[in-house]
Structure 1
Amino acid sequence: MDISFTVRLPVHVSSVPFVRGLCRQALEHLRVDRTVVDETTLALTEACANVVQHAGPDADYEVSVVIDSHVCRITVVDDGSGSDGGQIADRAELERAPLVGDGGTGLRLMQTLVDSLDVRQDPDGRHRVSLEKRLSGRPSLRLLDRN
């Protein structure tokens, strides 16, 4: 069974637990391993919290979730005036970013929790965060070797 949904939400702190709950229920309905559910919903929470923190107060954002038997794909899109998603050029640059300090901590967290992370600003100016998490196989929680 596949599950997919898209919701458009106001940029408000109360929208984050709402969409996290929708995603969690869908994954649990499909009997996905609890660790995978927790990692996926934490990454989604961080992506949505970034929108709430950085998008303008009158903006909306959209969350799309597509789950099949192998992977969960999540896209969070906002058209707020937040920071430029193009700041993170590639995985290597993200891995060199400090764990604490001038930002990027949430992006590092999301990268650690999921198998694929893409952050970009679309040509139309919308900010897009795309996450992919495998639903089976080895756990994808990766600690970065700083040596």
Structure 2
Amino acid sequence: MNIAFTVRLPVDAQSVPLVRGLLRQALEHLEVTRIRIDEIVLALTEACANVVQHAGEHEEYQVDVDIDDQLCRISVLDQGHGFDFEQVAAEPPRNPLDGGRGLLLMRALVDRLDFRADEDGGHRVILEKRLVDEPKLRLLSPG
């Protein structure tokens, strides 16, 4: 079964729990494991919190979710000024109490994290998380 939806949200802190709840309900409906649900929802929370904190005066942002039996793919699009992911990733570690660990957290929670400029001048964060374990190789005993 596939579930896909797109929501346009105001750039404010109240929008984050709304989209978190939508995503959680969709994943629960598909009977995704609790740990994977928690990881995906936390990664989405970080992506949306970054938009709310850094998108400036833009009025809305868009979240696209596409879930199938194998993969959850989330895209968060905003019209903010963006940033250079490689430059931020290369900076020396900061004190975690100063914030700024969201990128590392998202990277740790998902299987693929991508940042790109959108055709319309916006900036898109793409999060992908496998919903099933990779098949393990079985060693066959000789004979």
TM-score by length of 2: 0.84
Cα 1:77/1:130, change in 2 over 3 Å: same
Q: Confirm or deny that 1:7 pairs with 2:7.
A: yes
Question: Over alpha carbons, which structure has the higher Rg?
Answer: 2
Q: Is the 8 A contact 2:58 2:79 kept in 1?
A: no
In 2, distance between residues paired with 1:116 and 1:97?
22
Q: Residue deviations 1:72-126, cap 9 Å, x none?
A: 0000000123x42xx1139xx7377525468641111000000000012235321
Paired position in structure 1 for 2:104: 108
Structure-2 separation of matches of 1:2 and 1:49 = 26
Matches within 5 A, 1:1-147: 1-81=1-81, 83-84=82-83, 87-89=84-86, 94=89, 98=93, 100=95, 104-137=100-133
Distance 1:98 1:129, change over 3 A: same
The answer for unaligned runs of 5 or more in structure 2 is 135-143
How many residues align structurally? 133
SS of structure 1 residue aligned to 2:31: coil
The alignment partner of 2:132 has SS state of coil
The gaps in structure 1 that reach 5 residues or longer are: 139-147
